C-alpha cells in the first residue's frame, strides 16, 4: 500500500531523471496515479515503464510546446509533435475551459501526440467546474480490433469518455468500443490466464477467450462491443471515434505512422450558456436518481451509475493508500535503480 503523493513524487522523479522537462513530469505522474486511484490499473503507473523506454528511444519528446494548426475561438487544432499525450490533454483542458465559459463550448483536436493513458483520469478536472467533457482517442499505429464480420484487426479499442455534473457525484464514463483492451489482453497473456468470455477472434474467425491469439502468428483480433453477434454496435462507435480523432486533426491511418501515438478529440461544454447550469443539473440528477432507485435484478445489490465505483475507490485510496496491481513496481524497480530514484515507501 502506498500513498498517492508518494507515488506521484516517485513517478515525477523517474521522469525527471529520464530527461523529461520538469514542467511536464508532475502532470504526467498525476494522470497516471489518478488512473490507479480510480482502479484503472492497466492504464496507470503500469504505463510508466514503457513511457520511460520511449523517452530513451527518442519516441516521446521531452520538451517543447504543441504547434497550432488552427486556432478559432471555439475550435483549436494542435500538432502534438510527439509530446507526452497526458501533458497535452491537460494543457488542452486548461485552454478549453475558459473558452467554453465564454462561447458555450470549445473543441480541441490534437494530432501526433504520444499515448494519453486513462481517459477517466481527466474527467473530474472538468466536472468539478460544473461543465461537461467528451474525450476520445485512437492510436492509428495499432490495428488490434476487428471490424464486425472480420477476423483481422483494422482499428484500435478507440475509447470514449464523458463526464457531467449532477447534484451529487458526477457521472463519469470511460468505455472502449472493443469488449476488452490491449492492456488487459497483454496482462493475461503474460500471466497465462484466460479472458472471462470469448472476447477475441482467432485467425480462423473463431471466437476465443485465449489472449495469445492476438499475439501469435497468424494474428487474431479483439472483438468490438457486442461480440460476434452484435458487434456492429461497437464497430460503428469505433468508426466514429476514428473519424473525430483522426479526421478533424488531419492525421491518422492514411499517413505513415512511427511509434506509439494518441490522436485526440476533446470537447468541453458549459451548461450555463445553454439552458443554464441549474436546468442541466435538474435533468441529470433526476435521471441519476431514477437509475439508483431502479429495482435491481436478482444477484445485484443495487444499480450504480457510471463512475460511482471508481470515485469510491478513489476516496478510499486517498484515505487508506493505493494498492497497486502486482508487478507494476517490479517493472519500475530496474528503472529506479538505474536512475537513482528510491522506491516509494510502503504504508501500513
Statement: residue 2 has pLDDT above 80: yes
Taking all residues of the chain, what is their mean pLDDT, rounded to a whole number?
A: 96
Per-residue pLDDT at 281: 98
Per-residue pLDDT at 293: 97
Architecture of domain 64-173+180-277: 2-Layer Sandwich (3.30)
Question: pLDDT category, 336, cuts 50, 70, 90?
Answer: very high
> Cα separation of 213 and 202, whole Å?
5
* Residue among 324, 317, 182, 158 at smallest CA distance from 234: 158
> Cα separation of 157 and 154, whole Å?
10
Question: pLDDT category, 184, cuts 50, 70, 90?
Answer: confident
Question: pLDDT category, 83, cuts 50, 70, 90?
Answer: very high
Architecture of domain 1-62+320-348: Orthogonal Bundle (1.10)
**Residue 5 buriedness (CB in 10 A; 0-12 / 13-18 / 19+):** exposed
Per-residue pLDDT at 192: 86
Say what percent of the chain tops pLDDT 90: 92
Q: In what order do the strands lie in the sheet with 171-175?
A: 67-72, 75-79, 105-113, 262-269, 132-138, 160-164, 171-175
> Cα separation of 100 and 267, whole Å?
9
C-alpha cell at 277: 447550469
Domain range annotation of the chain: 1-62+320-348, 64-173+180-277
Amino acid at each position: 500500500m502506498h500513498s498517492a503523493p508518494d507515488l506521484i513524487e516517485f513517478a515525477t522523479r523517474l521522469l525527471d531523471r529520464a530527461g523529461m522537462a520538469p514542467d511536464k513530469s508532475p502532470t504526467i505522474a498525476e494522470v497516471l496515479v489518478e488512473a490507479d486511484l480510480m482502479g484503472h490499473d492497466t492504464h496507470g503507473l503500469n504505463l510508466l515503464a514503457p513511457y520511460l523506454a520511449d523517452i530513451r528511444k527518442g519516441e516521446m519528446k521531452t520538451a517543447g510546446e504543441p504547434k497550432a494548426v488552427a486556432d478559432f475561438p471555439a475550435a483549436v487544432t494542435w500538432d502534438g509533435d510527439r509530446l507526452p499525450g497526458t501533458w497535452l490533454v491537460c494543457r488542452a483542458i486548461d485552454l478549453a475551459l475558459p473558452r467554453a465559459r465564454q462561447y458555450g463550448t470549445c473543441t480541441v483536436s490534437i494530432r501526433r501526440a504520444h499515448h494519453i493513458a486513462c481517459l477517466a483520469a481527466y474527467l473530474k478536472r472538468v466536472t468539478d467546474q460544473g461543465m461537461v467533457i467528451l474525450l476520445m482517442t485512437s492510436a492509428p499505429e495499432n490495428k488490434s480490433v476487428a471490424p464486425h464480420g472480420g477476423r483481422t484487426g483494422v482499428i484500435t479499442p478507440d475509447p470514449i469518455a464523458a463526464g457531467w455534473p449532477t447534484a451529487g457525484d458526477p457521472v463519469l464514463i470511460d468505455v472502449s468500443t472493443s469488449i476488452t483492451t490491449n492492456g488487459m489482453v497483454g496482462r493475461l497473456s503474460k500471466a497465462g490466464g484466460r479472458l472471462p468470455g470469448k472476447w477475441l477472434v482467432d485467425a480462423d474467425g473463431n471466437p476465443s477467450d485465449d489472449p495469445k491469439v492476438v499475439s501469435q502468428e497468424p494474428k487474431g483480433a479483439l472483438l468490438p462491443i457486442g461480440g460476434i453477434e452484435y458487434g456492429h454496435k461497437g464497430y460503428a462507435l469505433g468508426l466514429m471515434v476514428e473519424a473525430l480523432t483522426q479526421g478533424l486533426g488531419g492525421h491518422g491511418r492514411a499517413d505513415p505512422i512511427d511509434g506509439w501515438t494518441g490522436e485526440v478529440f476533446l470537447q468541453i461544454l458549459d451548461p450555463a450558456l445553454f439552458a443554464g447550469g441549474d436546468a442541466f443539473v435538474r435533468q441529470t440528477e433526476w435521471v441519476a436518481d431514477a437509475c439508483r432507485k431502479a429495482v435491481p435484478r436478482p444477484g445485484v445489490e443495487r444499480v450504480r451509475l457510471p463512475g460511482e465505483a471508481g470515485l469510491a475507490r478513489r476516496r478510499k485510496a486517498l484515505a487508506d493508500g493505493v494498492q497497486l496491481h502486482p508487478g507494476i513496481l517490479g517493472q519500475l524497480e530496474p528503472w529506479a535503480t538505474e536512475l537513482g530514484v528510491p522506491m516509494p515507501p510502503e504504508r501500513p
